Chain A
Amino acid sequence: MHVLEGEGVTKYFGGLAAISNVDFYVDQGEVLGLIGPNGAGKTTLFNLISAALIPKPGIVKYKGVNITGKKPYKICRMGIARTFQTVKIFANLPVFDNVRVGSLFGTFLKMSPAEAEKTTTDLLEFVGLSDASNIPAKDLTLANQKRLEVARALATKPELLLLDELMAGLNQTEVAQAMELVKQIREKGITIIMIEHVMRAIMNVCNRIIVLHHGQKIAEGTPQEIANSKTVIEIYLGEQTNAGS
């Protein structure tokens, strides 16, 4: 059974189809990459999965259960956590409390305050922010704010983690560290769907990739298949190579 499954997922903003009739699935332990040019509908798809938006028409199933139309907090407690493209940390709260919120409210079986603190401490160590635990989150660098978002999402004990452009805006070293982090999360047995523009990262860590363009799924396959796909090169990778040269 698929961990997450979408059937005919569609979302219109006014007359514009941000996502139209997209089918997708992700299996236990997989890292699924979601790529596509800007405005392709990647973040919209994340919003539809995490229930910030409701697909119309279309359904999203999590472990076989229809979760379409549920509230975001319920989705989170069921085991789907996410990070945001533009970081949405609790800027004035200490780093520690940012993560503690996740473990206090986001877990399916509520944690006791002591357990929540333990989880928080462990996760801050996992993402390498232990030393920063008492400073306000807004004082972190962008790379660390993104790591904080990851820790906060992990604090909700997810089985499925949605990472929205974790590596955008990071320098080479930070990208390498972020890739390492993604691999470590995968090793914990957490299924991951990641939106990414950094091709090196996508090709390196994903088992499978879905390419979106103008709200439609235009290709799906292993990193090799995608890298060799003519359509993908034409509309996406091609653009990048040209722009880069």
Chain B
Amino acid sequence: MSTTGLNLKKLWVPGIYVIILVFLATLPMFGSAYSIIFLISILMYVILAVSWTVFSGPTGYISLAPAAFFGVGIYTSATLGNDLPFTALIIIGGLISTALALLVGALTLRLRGIYFAIFTFGLVELIKHTLLWYEVKFTGTRGRFVVVIDNETIYYALLIVLAVLLITAFIIRRSKYGLALQSIGEYEEAASHMGINVTLVKVLVFGFSAFFMGAAGAIMATRWTYVDPYIAFYLLFSFMPVLMGILGGMGQFYGPIIGAVMVTYLEELLLTKFPYYYMLIFGVILVVAILYLPQGLAGLIEKMRRRYLGGERART
């Protein structure tokens, strides 16, 4: 194979990302108000799904904590929104989520498999009810009003957070720490005997992924004007990233991205076209996808690519 062919192929994929990013960046200039609102929810879910996959994809630790980190971000905006600029809210929301993730991770990442999933699930409920108790007991109200910010600003904020996430996630995946995460997922015990500080790697990456969930929460809170613990710590925000990751396929970097886009689009489409059967159809599609696409949409795409491009991708 010639080196130019290789270089072109290397540029091809980042090229597509850049084109999409430029398109999205210029969209508010010509897109409708609806398209912006729709893209806001897509971007939000892409951030959640990609950041979830950074940790849970390679390690196989199924975290159901996204709603907790997302909710922490939401409450950061809700409590500090009047006093701090938007950018500060986003960063602080992310940092508080990271701090929570580091604490929780250090305590629980020795739990394997289903125990970890259940603990993280419980974490969302725990925070929700603790917060509810606090609000009722000390502030005397259940919910809070959040500073309103216009959709275009929200859209750009999400886009910037997503761009930062994609770049760092890509770097991690390609670095030796990406390999360490995969080894942990394959055989944690062996990984620790190969010189990998498994606890540290797991906790740090878990914290990293929480940052973006928290940042997304801090941004999204400003769109909802009113939040209470039930809205902020809604378990659907935990399940959706998992679903999107699995449906999109975690083997490829773009898997959770298409997963998130497809699911959000599907949800919107079904909700508007078939409001009564929406959940039913959604469920059927999911069941079929899980049964017939074990590697997700990305797996299907890779399979077709291999079929049409012949043996070009085979390296041996």
Residues in A lying within 8 Å of B, measured CB to CB: 50, 52, 71-73, 75-77, 81-82, 84, 88-93, 97, 100-102, 104-107, 113, 116, 133-135, 152, 155-156
Contacts and interface: CB of A to CB of B under 8 A. Distances in A.
Given A52-B189, A89-B187, A90-B186, A101 B194 contact: yes
B196 A73 contact: yes
Given A73-B192, A134-B316, A156-B195, A88 B179 contact: no
Contacts of A107: 195
Report the 6 A-B pairs with minimum CB-CB distance, sorted nearest first.
Answer: A106-B195, A90-B186, A88-B190, A105-B195, A76-B195, A134-B316
B183 interface: yes
A77 B190 CA distance: 14
B315 interface: yes
A106 B194 contact: yes
Given A88-B190, A106-B194, 15 more contacts: A50-B193, A73-B194, A75-B193, A76-B195, A82-B193, A90-B190, A91-B186, A93-B182, A93-B183, A101-B179, A105-B176, A105-B180, A105-B194, A105-B195, A134-B315
Contacts of B87: none
B198 interface: yes
Given A105-B180, A134-B315, A135-B316, A89 B190 contact: yes
A152 B291 CA distance: 36
Contacts of B176: 104-105, 113, 116
Contact of B191 (A77, A91, A101, A133): A101
B180 A88 contact: no
Interface in B186-219: 186-187, 189-198
A216 B260 CA distance: 58
Among A72, A82, A156, chain B packs the most CB atoms within 10 A around the CB of: A72
Nearest to B200: A73
Contacts of B189: 52, 88
B186 A156 contact: no
B107 to A, nearest CB: 17
Contact of A73 (B179, B186, B198): B198
Interface of B: 176, 179-180, 182-183, 186-187, 189-198, 315-316
Nearest to B190: A88
B195 A100 contact: no
Contacts, number: 74
Given A77-B195, A105-B195, A156-B195, A93 B190 contact: no
Nearest to A131: B316
A104 B196 CA distance: 9
A107 B187 CA distance: 19
B53 to A, nearest CB: 16
Nearest to A155: B194
Contacts of B315: 134
A21 to B, nearest CB: 26
A76 B198 CA distance: 13
15 contacts: A50-B193, A52-B193, A76-B194, A77-B195, A81-B193, A89-B186, A89-B187, A90-B186, A90-B191, A101-B191, A105-B176, A105-B194, A113-B176, A155-B194, A156-B195
Contact of B193 (A72, A100, A133, A155): A72
Among B176, B194, B198, B316, chain A packs the most CB atoms within 10 A around the CB of: B194
Contacts of A52: 189, 193
Contacts of B191: 90, 101
A114 to B, nearest CB: 12
Contacts of A156: 194-195
A225 B176 CA distance: 48
